Amino acid sequence: MDPKGLAYLGAGIGAGLAIIGGGAGIGRLAAAALEGIARQPNAVADIRGAMIVAAGLIEGATFFALIVTILLAIK
């Protein structure tokens, strides 16, 4: 098989897996945050701030994976 094709295949599968992980992480985070807001509506500002930071960290990890797949696709 063409090694270049394998690299493209790996990049595509890798991007998909990274998005699954990131989506699941941020989804769980949002679910927990919404639950917290529903229980404590007056803590909404604190929860939102903490949620955005955590989402940013999850997103950062996801982007590491995506950069690797992009490098795989363009090399």
Contact residues for other proteins (CB under 8 A)? 49, 52-53, 56-57, 59-60, 63-64, 66-67, 73-74
Write b or e for each residue in 3-25: b if 16 or more Cβ atoms lie within 10 A of its Cβ, otherwise e.
eeeeeeeebeebbeebeeebeeb
User: For residue 67, with 0-12 CB atoms within 10 Å meaning exposed, 13-18 middle and 19 or more buried, which class applies?
Assistant: exposed
Closest CB 63 distance from other proteins, rounded Å: 4
Closest distance between other proteins and the C-beta of residue 24, in Å? Answer: 19
Nearer to other proteins, 6 or 53 (CB): 53
CB of 5 or CB of 56, closer to other proteins: 56
Q: At its nearest, how many Å lie between other proteins and the CB of residue 1?
A: 20
